[in-house]
A and B are shown apart, each in its own frame.
Chain A
Amino acid sequence: MHNKTLAELSAALQQSEVSSEELTRHLLQRIQSLDGKLNALVTVTEEHALAQARQADALRQAGNAGPMTGLPLIHKDIFCTDGVKTSCGSKMLDNFIAPYDATIVAKCKAAGMVMLGKSNMDEFAMGSSNETSFYGPVHNPWDLDAVPGGSSGGSAAAVAARLSPVATGTDTGGSIRQPAALCGVTGLKPTYGRVSRYGMIAFASSLDQAGPMTRSAEDAAMMLNVMAGFDERDSTSVEKAVPDYTQTLNDSLKGLKIGLPKEYFGEGMDQAVIDVINTAIKQYQELGAEVIEISLPNFALAVPAYYVVAPAECSSNLSRFDGVRFGYRCENPKDLQDFYERSRGEGFGAEVKRRIMIGTYALSAGYYDAYYLKAQKLRRLISDDFHKAFEQVDVIMSATAPTVAFKLGEKTDDPVTMYLSDINTIAVNLAGLPGMSIPAGFVNGLPVGLQIIGNYFDEQRLLNVAHQYQQVTQWHQQSPQDFA
């Protein structure tokens, strides 16, 4: 049952092959027996889930069920969930019970979905390996000594290990796509503004975007149908009609123009990974696609620009964690200064502090022009590169990450090397474009992700392109041995 995709489970529920309660109990049982090895979940909401499942079954009996009613999911612990701990992977929010639902949480609830729990993540989504979490690292189900990627590492590992058919994630610089690649699942980061950010704890507001992590493109389309849409509570969400993303999955790829940016196939990329990607591209050619070599000349500027913009925004976004109204507060402060310094000093982990420091510096008087403004200009250049590219091609493809999953602890002492593991994903966030990662093969028994980048609000095409590949390959159906 746990090997079924969301689409298959939806059919099974509709045909009463299984009840939502049975499905929920089964997955809760799996979580209980298997998550000890993974540490993918921070909170398991067992009672809550069973109550929702029974409610879903009742709806179905009454003939009021929709296609998503009774389907289970896990929310990344960055989304506020009413009455449930929302930690954002931080000691700072270890005691925080959110008093409201994030918009996407409310939408999933309204669709009748059942929340099994909240997934582990890098602290405040800052990390590429899930090792910065206050709750300890998540282990990759394909190799328990390897990282799952980050920051949505818990969601990726849970979906890969069949603890849930689907999980939500957020992507600021690759935090959905990179762990999806490293864990061998399908991840979609929608266009900036496609999905509401309300109730999603902000890391870098101009880059953050929520999306689904699933085992197939079809499942991602079903999830995006639920998650997407304008929200009057998020001024940066876009008022644009939401199509039915499942409708165009089966469109032919004949004549599809795929751009291969040469910069994404050069220095720093593992050759074995590139080989897997090239094989996938061949597969697309067999499906009728045309391949065009393109150039995104400002590729190398993405990581430096990102590591100014994202920390600058985070330094301000994380100011509200001051111990005054919620969250961690230090013991016996001797005055206000001490209250702030110790509450924040003790509540935040090292990586978060590092980024707050970088961001504070970049926004300081005398440095603002040289860093923040300059980075914004680079951002424009990077976007312009993509605009030009999409005049020639329909989608752009590359490896999602330069390597397969690395070992736990391997890069923790070298932040710059760690930052470079997002080198292929970051530019997409800076430009605000949609991007996906789908399983495309293995290197040394570890999954490789193929990144597909689309034009603004072209999620339909991304999902179509991914789905067609998944119709002729089985990479997305592989499951890690211990979690079959």
Chain B
Amino acid sequence: MEWEPVIGLEIHVQLLTNSKIFSGASIAYGAPPNTQACAVDLGLPGVLPVLNKEVVRMAVKFGLAIGAKVSTRSIFARKNYFYPDLPKGYQISQYELPIVEHGHLDIELEDGTVKRIGVTRAHLEEDAGKSLHEDFHGLTGIDLNRAGTPLLEVVSEPDLRSAKEAVAYMKKMHSLVQYLEICDGNMQEGSFRCDANVSIRPKGQKAFGTRAELKNINSFRFVERAINVEIERQIDILEGGGEVIQETRLYDPDKNETRSMRTKEEANDYRYFPDPDLLPVVIEEGFIEDVKKSLPELPDEKIHRFTQDYGLNAYDASVMVANRDMAEYFDAVAQATGEPKAAANWVMGDLTGALNKSGQEINDSPVTAAMLAGMINRIKDGTLTSKTAKIVFEAMWNGEGEADQIIEAKDLKPISDTGAIEKIIDDIIAANPEQVEQYRSGKEKVFGFFVGQVMKASKGKANPQQVNELLKRKLAG
């Protein structure tokens, strides 16, 4: 039988605020345990939460970017359960009436088609602390620095049909939240993490199969692998005549398998109810309009502009746009030179190569966008040839200055003096009578040989066009 996977993702986006969602404590990563947990985060008797307004702005930004409905009235609710790293015995989240509903994200499939993935909802909530099981003999340590960190939980429709689609969706979301500057996207530090709901059904069947929820998969690679092994597991069960049970499973990347954490029967009854300590979040239309005006150019818009205005192909455009910093770098170079193709080639070619080699991010590149543009302008005006440009790029990378300085210092100015070029050509014609004979007897291919020789003799500095013209004339005899 042919099986069709049905996948939905719940992505936790850690919001890039200065302070926590309901207190003034810092959310900076990596502080010593419990140094960033104030009375509110500790859940001391008598403390009360106060909503950080910045998270509302960020959620609205996100909602607008995915074409969703931004609720003018949303409600915080308490999700009640006991765990040592959950200080209050409940998590403040949103249940009924989330802040964002009914959006979508378009993903590009391998065959080049675009698929629209529904986003059911996105709601605000606080993160829990961390339980530390190592370092404490027979005990568990609790670090509440993370408690109260603001999260936006983004729940997709079950529209994804393969692990590859799931990864494409996750990557697109990852890029989007960074474009919006609402998340740093750091997956190692857990700023962007994902749970996946996976089920399978016979191809053509409408009804969904029973799903398993895969918890906390924190890299694109693991998402793909975890979903695939889960699909395999469910196929094995169903083809063996068994039944998939609804449960929460944990992906073990070392063994590349998923394991049961708890079944539906063992699941908590969270006893959600509206948090009486917090007022409903009321958002005025004017606020939404202001946020709309502040939205940056979004990835899809950028891809469109890069292909339409700059003539990039769809693939190059999407690679460029996936990384906001790279896209902005490229955009700056293209605008400063009016040479988008050359800009794209240099950014995706030599620059990316050099960055990969040194392990640097584009924002740390020793060759800034302005420097690269300066170099491309010297190619454009004929000062540099493709050959001398490579020399200049390498020198810029090594910190030897800007293009013009390097051209000066390395004496890379083209030889534009016709007499000097003629002299070189004359010498080469004199030294290669055999090739001259061949050319004159109609073997025009040999022309390239002469060009190469001239360029070599001029150390790349001769203007190729000038060389062509003079050579043609001289060889013609």
Please, which residue of chain B has its CB at the minimum distance from the CB of A232?
A: B50
- Once bound together, how far apart are the Cα atoms of A322 and B89, in whole Å? 8
User: Within 8 Å of chain B (Cβ to Cβ): is A198?
Assistant: yes
List B residues 141-174 near A (Cβ within 8 Å).
Answer: 142
* A236 CA / B84 CA spacing, docked (Å): 28
Q: Is A131 an interface residue (CB 8 A)?
A: no
Question: A326 interface residue, CB < 8 Å from B?
Answer: yes
Residues of B close to A233: CB separation below 8 A: 48, 50
What residue of chain A has the Cβ atom nearest to residue B279's Cβ? A235
Contact A100 B39 (CB under 8 A): yes
Across-interface contacts of B142 in A (CB, < 8 A): 324-325
Known A-B contacts A235-B279, A322-B89, A363-B80; A368 and B47 likewise in contact (beta carbons under 8 Å): no
Tell whether B88 is near chain A: CB-to-CB under 8 Å.
yes
Contact B88 A319 (CB under 8 A): yes
**Chain B neighbourhood of A315, CB < 8 A:** 80, 271
CB-based contact B277/A205 at 8 Å: yes
Q: Does B44 contact A (CB under 8 A)?
A: yes
Q: Is B49 a contact partner of A235 (Cβ separation < 8 A)?
A: yes
Instruction: Indicate which residue in B44, B90, B271 contacts A364 across the interface (CB closer than 8 Å).
Output: B271
- A326 close to B44 (CB less than 8 A): yes
Task: Indicate whether A114 reaches chain B with its CB closer than 8 angstroms.
Answer: no
Given contacts A360-B271, A363-B80, A364-B271, contact A320 B277 (CB under 8 A): no
Q: Is A88 an interface residue (CB 8 A)?
A: yes
Q: Is A31 an interface residue (CB 8 A)?
A: no
Specify which of A99, A100, A102, A316 is in contact with B80 (CB 8 Å cutoff).
A316
Q: Kindly list chain A residues whose C-beta atoms are within 8 Å of the C-beta of B46.
A: 79-80, 86, 98, 102, 198-202
Asked if A8 lies at the interface with its beta carbon under 8 angstroms from chain B, I say no
Select B271's contact among A86, A88, A325, A363, beta carbons within 8 Å: A363
Contacts of A98 in B (CB 8 A): 44-46
* Residue on A nearest B79 in the bound complex, by CB: A316
In the assembled complex, the CB of A341 is this many whole angstroms from the nearest CB of chain B, namely: 10
Q: In the complex the two chains form, is B82's CB within 8 Å of A235's CB?
A: no
Interface check A312, CB cutoff 8 A: yes
* B269 close to A (CB within 8 Å): yes
The contact size tier of chain A is 35 or more
State which residues 197-223 of A face B: CB under 8 Å.
197-202, 204-206
A456 at the interface (CB under 8 A from B): no
B84 to A320, Cβ gap below 8 A? no
Q: Chain A residue with minimal CB distance to B76?
A: A235
In contact, B277 and A235 (Cβ under 8 angstroms): yes
User: In the complex, what distance in Å separates the CA atom of A312 from the CA atom of B48?
Assistant: 18
Does A336 have its Cβ within 8 Å of any Cβ on chain B?
A: yes
> In the assembled complex, which residues on chain B have CB atoms less than 8 Å from the CB atom of A324?
84, 87, 142
Interface assignment of B51: CB less than 8 Å from any CB of chain A: yes
A210 → chain B closest CB, angstroms: 11
Q: Mark A58-102, 1 if CB is under 8 A from B, else 0.
A: 000000000000000000000110000010100001001011101
B262 vs chain A, min Cβ distance (A): 14
- Chain A 368-400, CB within 8 Å of chain B: the 1/0 string? 100010000000000000000000000000000
Bound: A204/B46 CA distance, A? 12
Tell me if B273 and A235 are in contact (CB < 8 A): no
Q: Which of A80, A234, A313, A363 contacts B45 (CB 8 A)?
A: A80
Q: Which residue of B lies closest to A336 (CB)?
A: B84
- Interfacial residues of chain A within 164-201, with CB under 8 A of chain B in the complex: 197-201
**A197-B48, A320-B89, A324-B142 known; A363 and B273 CB under 8 Å?**
yes
Within 8 A of A (CB), among B14-54: 39, 42-51
Interface centre among A79, A363, A368, by most chain B C-beta atoms within 10 angstroms, is: A363
A442 within 8 A of B: no
> Does the CB pair A198–B89 fall under 8 Å?
no
The answer to the question of B278 belonging to the interface, with a C-beta cut-off of 8 Å to chain A, is yes
Instruction: Specify which of B45, B51, B78, B82 is in contact with A340 (CB 8 Å cutoff).
Output: B82
* Interface check A365, CB cutoff 8 A: yes
Q: Are the C-beta atoms of B88 and A86 separated by less than 8 Å?
A: no
B276 within 8 A of A: yes
Scan residues 100-118 of chain A and give those whose CB is less than 8 A from a CB of chain B. Answer: 100, 102
Residues of B within 8 A of A80 (CB): 44-46
Interface residues of A in 345-374 (CB under 8 A from B): 360, 363-365, 368, 372
Could you list 8 further interchain pairs (A-B, Cβ under 8 angstroms) beyond the known A235-B50, A326-B44? Answer: A88-B45, A98-B46, A198-B48, A201-B45, A313-B276, A316-B90, A321-B45, A368-B272
Interface residues of A (CB under 8 A from B): 79-80, 86, 88, 93, 96, 98-100, 102, 197-202, 204-206, 232-236, 312-313, 315-316, 318-322, 324-326, 336, 340, 360, 363-365, 368, 372
List 14 interface pairs A-B (beta carbons < 8 Å), by A numbering: A80-B45, A86-B46, A102-B46, A202-B46, A206-B276, A233-B50, A234-B50, A235-B278, A236-B278, A316-B271, A325-B87, A340-B82, A363-B273, A364-B271
B contact residues vs A (CB 8 Å cutoff): 39, 42-51, 78, 80, 82, 84, 87-90, 142, 269, 271-273, 276-279
Per CB-CB distance, the 5 closest pairs between chain A and chain B, nearest first, are: A319-B89, A206-B276, A363-B271, A205-B276, A199-B46
